[in-house]
Amino acid sequence: MYKCNSRRLQDSIEQFSQFGATINGGVTRLSLSNEDVLARDYFCKCCEELGMEIKVDDMANIYALLPGKKEVPPIVMGSHLDSVEKGGKFDGVLGVLTALEAIRTLKDNDVELDVPLMIVNFTNEEGARFDPAMMSSGVIASKFDKDKMLQSADKNGMSFQEALKASGYEGDPQHRLIEALAYIELHIEQGPVLEAKQIEIGVVQGVLGMVCYEITITGESNHAGTTPMSMRKDPMIVAAKTMLSLHEQLGEIDEQLVFTFGRMNVFPNIHTVIPNKVTFTMDSRHQKPDVMQRVEEILNALPTEDMGCRIQPAKLWGRDTVMFDTQICDEIEMSCHRFGYSAYRMFSGAGHDAQYIASMIPSAMIFVPSIHGKSHCEEEETSFEDCAKGADVLLETVLTMQTKFSIGASYTLN
């Protein structure tokens, strides 16, 4: 077994955190921004120094290939370099850097593999600049229409297509990831479970199914000072009642169900005017389809009217639970045991590129703990020791899998 160089990995994390560094120790590195381009340039330089071949596809996904002795499809590792605004220095980038550290460790030990290894950096995973999230992995997995994605615009009106051309990373569609033996993505958990359970490695079995609804409540605007309470059609009060009712009903379905009232808009949003319309979103996630079906039944059974206001639920989008390859998950868990690291089988509540790639290539994920469960904020933190343990497991899993692949083994595409 080979252990990765924990100090070198820490140096890499700290180096990449300078691309878009914020005053409070976080990172703002929006997709295809100047900061993202600098990180991409440095990533390519690091890979070229290792003798890796760099290719870029038409969605600016970067592929760095370390050739093997056999001409077979690669085992792919990676994640993304972009961040949310005022995010942390581990989210996404850690999956790229642990993969880079795995290759460096192989080079340190003069290990030549039969199977090629590839590191991928997916573009616009966060969706923080251009909607939707996981855009480019979604395009290559045929989840999104490329032409529509090119027209997605940021808050300044710049389209993804314009940013793509300006970045210098618009490549060739022939370079897209189409065939690979496996895909493994390492990521911070972005939640509190591993830390609470004092577990070192999360073996991610899949990504939770989810639905997102927007509930619109329409009432009637009037003067805040002259309209008696008994004569109002106030959608704000109805919205509050509806949220409380949903909180109670959904909370009784299953203790593993999570749901969030995340966005609210009030019109006309003036303190001296009774609102005439309120909208709010409800995001819900669970592993089991029957639980998600019950959530939707409750949402669609909301009363159509209350206190003179109209209530209209509308489904914005949803996804089924994505199951990762069980054999790869087994390999990850066995790698943990070889190092003596504790492991825990779990699902991801957050979306990742792996959920789309899993429809094309046998895939799985590795989680390392997030301190206090924080992510998508400047306070995001994972110990460098845990990062290194994740890199060890990633490398050991890849080495075990390539040995099996070299003698004709295969993994199941879920």
254-291 pLDDT, tens digit per residue, is 999 999 999 999 999 999 999 999 999 999 999 999 99
- Model confidence band, residue 407 (pLDDT cutoffs 50, 70, 90): confident
Axis crossing angle, helix 93-108 with helix 6-16, rounded to the nearest 10? 140
**What are the pLDDT digits (tens) for 214-256?**
999 999 999 999 999 999 999 999 999 999 999 999 999 999 9
Distance CA 62, CA 60 (A): 6
Residue 19: both structure tokens together: 């691309």
Cα gap 386→51, rounded to integer Å: 28
pLDDT tens digits along 379-402: 999 999 999 999 999 999 999 999
Tens digits of per-residue pLDDT, 61-83? 999 999 999 999 999 999 999 99
Split at pLDDT 50, 70, 90, the class of 409 is confident
- Band (414; pLDDT cuts 50, 70, 90): low
For the stretch 27-58, pLDDT in tens is: 999 999 999 999 999 999 999 999 999 999 99
Q: What is the mean pLDDT of the chain?
A: 97
Q: Are strands 182-188 and 209-218 parallel, antiparallel or unpaired?
A: unpaired
Q: Which helix (H) or strand (E) holds 403?
A: helix 384-406
Measured CA distances, 25 to 18, 19, 79, 88, 380 (Å): 9, 12, 22, 8, 9
